[in-house]
A and B are shown apart, each in its own frame.
Chain A
Amino acid sequence: MIWKIFLFLLLAFVSIAGIIFPIVEKPEAWYEFPFIPGLEENAKIIFFHVPTAWLTVIAFLMSTIFSFRYLRKKNLDEDAKAYSAAQLGMIFCILATVTGAIWAKFAWGSFWSWDPRQTSIFALLLIYGALFALRSSIESEEKRATLSSVYSLIAFVTVPFFIFIMPRIMKGLHPGSADDTNAGPVVDFKMNSNMQLIFFLSLIGFTILYFWMWKVGYKSIIYRDKLNNQLLIPTKSGQGG
């Protein structure tokens, strides 16, 4: 219980501090953020955009790992864990896309410009969408778990290609791209110490939140499947939210 209160306070602090702390030319007080050329006032969205993108990757990785474990052990609990991770991954993927698009509107001038990162996250959205479409089309539990595990492993295998291909095909705008000249805040930190502190607190807070949600998610799926099996009601369990 204690850590839940702690998490609430942490996320509340991060949200409030991230939004209301002012950005000034020469930060002196502890609550002032530095003025970063090229980012300006947009810099504040970093506290929300980077953690969601980070969790998208974590969730995708976890869903793949648990899919792999399901195929080895054939334990339906592993599939529930993979599915729960994929659900959260989808949510964070949408959040990262939306916050990224908002940031792009103010930093690059348009919501969507097929930057390598934008294309990659679009591909990830497609993969998640396809995974859920596949899951909802199969009734048998074992079959659904096996086929979706196989699909997520195949999808995982293709992901590294995006990292190599995209920069060759499109020009990068996102910090950290291959032809990035004004190295952004992700590459070398132009943030001062209090900005870094809030950034990492936000990252930690969102990661704890993710693991909590993931645990609640997979447990509820396992319990629902158990109940359905006990009642012997032939329902399509494990499909809805």
Chain B
Amino acid sequence: MDKNKHINIDFSQSKFFMISKSFALFKKDFSSELRTRYAINSLAMFIIVAISVILFSIGNEKITESLTGGLFWVVIFFTAMSGLARAFVSEEERGTSLTLQLISAPSTVFTGKLMFNVILVFCMNTVIALLYSALFEEFVIRNFTLFLLTFILGNFGLAISSTIIAAIIAKAGAKGTLYPVLSFPILLPLILTSVQLTLFSFDGTSFEEAKFELAIVVGYDVIMLTASYMLFDFIWKD
């Protein structure tokens, strides 16, 4: 046995191989998404519907900055809830999750799905931010770098948490209504801090003053990422 040991190099354990594999998974999701455009279409329509409902209800009323910042994250949260569960639910619906379990390690699958959701979240939130700055008078960013940093960190946190909850939902039998219920308590710290940081960027607060909140968002991202990778094995293996 020992003589042959050098031949049996476990390729799947190699780091480079793992990343390329999860990238292949991401490309598969991406091309299947481009074919059906299900998530993109539903997200785009949801954004338009949500923002127009807010605009109708505001009417000619003048709303405050803090309300605009809050509404910004409300739209982001519910848009994420409407589209991000697809990543794992689609695998269960098509019955391809068993094949995925056979060909790759759980962490590989999670990385691939996370990449796809991160791209989706960034696209959707960029559209929301652009629409907000065009349609809301009070959406004036005075500290742009702070806003950008909040935006990037918040999006990563949103993508990580919603991906792990999506995995739970998919295994629970794709209960659509359960997704926001399960996600909200998990995302609450992130959303509260992001709203605060967005308001800081409206006010033009300096980095020094916003250091604490930024540290919290970074901590949230790191901790959720670690916890997700550790716990995903249990969800994924039947």
Contacts and interface: CB of A to CB of B under 8 A. Distances in A.
Given A134-B172, A165-B216, A168-B213, A149 B234 contact: yes
Contacts, number: 79
B185 A130 contact: yes
B67 to A, nearest CB: 15
Among B168, B184, B196, B220: residue with most chain A CB under 10 A: B168
B154 to A, nearest CB: 14
Contacts of A154: 164-165, 186, 224, 227-228, 231
B235 A127 contact: no
Given A126-B185, A130-B185, A137-B173, A165 B192 contact: yes
B63 interface: no
Nearest to B224: A157
Interface residues of B, number: 31
Contact of B178 (A123, A134, A143, A169): A134
B148 interface: no
A138 B182 CA distance: 14
B127 interface: no
A151 B232 CA distance: 11
A149 B234 CA distance: 9
Contacts of B231: 71, 150, 153-154
Contact of A164 (B175, B188, B216, B223): B216
Interface string B145-168: 000000000000000000011001
Interface of A (DSSP majority class): helix
Given A154-B227, A161-B189, A162-B189, A133 B235 contact: no
B214 to A, nearest CB: 12
Nearest to B228: A154
A65 to B, nearest CB: 15
B188 A137 contact: no
Contacts of A161: 189, 193, 216, 219-220
Among B164, B181, B192, B219: residue with most chain A CB under 10 A: B192
Contacts of B196: 168-169
B212 interface: yes
Interface string A165-192: 1001100000000000000000000000
A147 interface: yes
Contacts of B228: 154
Given A147-B171, A162-B189, A165-B216, A153 B227 contact: yes
Contacts of B189: 158, 161-162, 165
A133 B181 contact: yes
A61 B124 CA distance: 37
Nearest 10 pairs of A and B residues by beta carbon: A161-B189, A126-B185, A127-B185, A150-B231, A130-B182, A157-B227, A137-B175, A130-B181, A138-B172, A137-B172
Given A71-B231, A150-B168, A165-B192, 14 more contacts: A137-B173, A137-B175, A138-B172, A143-B172, A147-B171, A153-B231, A154-B165, A154-B186, A158-B185, A161-B220, A164-B216, A165-B216, A168-B212, A168-B213
Interface of B: 164-165, 168, 171-173, 175, 178, 181-182, 184-186, 188-189, 192-193, 196, 212-213, 216, 219-220, 223-224, 227-228, 231, 234-235, 238
